[in-house]
Structure formats: C-alpha cells, structure tokens
Amino acid sequence: MKLFETVKNNVTAIDVVSMAGFKPNRSKMICCPFHNDKHPSMKVDQRYFCFGCGAKGDAIDFVANYYGLSLKEAAEKIASKFSLSYDNSRDSDCVQKEVVSKKNEYQMWAEKKRELIAQLSGIHERLRKMKSKYAPKDREDSNWSPLFVLAETEFTYVDYLYDYCMFEATEDELKGKYEEITKEMERIEKRIYDTESGIRGSDVGKIREGLAV
C-alpha cells in the first residue's frame, strides 16, 4: 500500500495525540493545542474534533498541524514512529500538488475561523464587562451611561453570532456567512470606539482601565 493509505488504515487520531504527549481523559477529551484551551474541548478517537475552535481531521491532519509539517511529512513521521511498511515509490506530481493544495486550503480556512471565533469572543467579553460595570443602580434612572446602552443593545446579538459560529452553522454555512459576520463585528467595534470617543478623555482612560481588570 502507498504511504497515506497505510497510515490511515493503521493509525488513529488518538494514537498520534498520545504520541505527542497528550493524555486523553476517560471521555477521550484533551485540551486543544490549536487555540488557548483551558478546559478539554477536543474529542479524539478515530478522528479528532475541537468543540472550541472547530479544528478537525484524521491522524495525518493532526500531526501536520501540530508539528507544522506538510501532509506527506506528517504521514512519513507517523509511519516511522509506528514502524509501518509502505510502498515508497514516488507519487505523481499531480497527486502531490492536489495534496498540497487541499492542505493549504484547509489551513487557511482553519486559521480564518479561529480568528473569527477569537474576535467574537473578545467582543462578547468586552460587552459583558461594560454591561456589568456601567449598569445603572436604578433601571428607572434616565441618566444611563452610553457605554451601558451600547452593551445592552449589542450583547444579545453578539451572543447569538457566537453560538451560531460555534455550534449551529455547518462549515459551508459559516464560509458563506464569514464576510457578513466580519462586517458586523467591524460595525460593533467602530460603535464602541465612537462611543468611547464621545466621552471626555479622562473618562476614557478610566473606562479602559476598568475593562482591563
């Protein structure tokens, strides 16, 4: 058998995860190495899938992304580590180019998706802090902070976008909505900036200092 076929038939994602030094728990979960994961969110078995950033694939994909290798280099590393024998006759240039193209396409989208989730998470947390810090002591008070008003009106929407990207949308649906969601985040970030800019400079410093806590 050829290299890729041999590896795919003999080695699973959980095998290479263990090879890399991770220790899956009883539920076969580990902390995802592809984002800042403080609690296990990646399921590893025959394949792997992260419920946090969406990273997924087979044993070869994991090794390629974890060690920064090409798919062929990753497959060779696995074959060597697990002492697998395979037909190492040279693959055609056409097949090699297809493998590299798919790898590059996958990596580019995975990176864009991670950045999208991270940006949404950052805005979500910022709005949450603004809601808490600048909430009026009395809801009947008409003198609300403009930052509280902004957070109150945008938080639920950002919460919906976060859930949609993380749990509801398929990969194809998210790719189709990517530009629209990115523009919405830019709109909200501009609104935050404009609102802060409308407050006296000394207050802006205090606000930013408070949000950094």
Among candidate residues 41, 61, 89, the one where a domain is terminated: 89
Report pTM.
Answer: 0.47
| Average pLDDT, integer, range 126-134 | 91
pLDDT the model gives residue 110: 81
Domain of residue 165, residue span: 95-211
> What local confidence, expressed as pLDDT, does residue 111 receive?
80
Same domain, 149 and 132: yes
In this predicted model, what pLDDT tens digit does every residue of 200-213 receive, in sequence order? 444 444 444 444 44
Q: Of 37, 66, 63, 61, which Cα lies nearest the Cα of 50?
A: 37
Q: Which residues contact 151 (CB under 8 A, 6 or more apart)?
A: 127, 128, 130, 131, 134
Q: How many domains does the chain have?
A: 2
In this model, does residue 63 exceed pLDDT 90?
yes
- Give the residue from 66, 89, 112 where a domain finishes: 89
Last residue of a domain, one of 89, 115, 132: 89
The predicted pLDDT at position 62 comes to 94
DSSP H or E segment with residue 17: helix 13-19
**Same domain as 113, residue 51:** no
Residues 6+ apart with CB under 8 A from 16: 59, 62, 63, 78
CATH number for the domain harbouring residue 84? 3.90.580.10
- How many other C-beta atoms are found inside a 10 Å radius of the C-beta of residue 20? 13
Query: Looking at residue 104, what is its pLDDT?
Result: 66
pLDDT for position 91: 52
pLDDT in tens, 85-108: 887 765 545 555 554 455 567 778
Residues 106 and 207 in one domain: yes
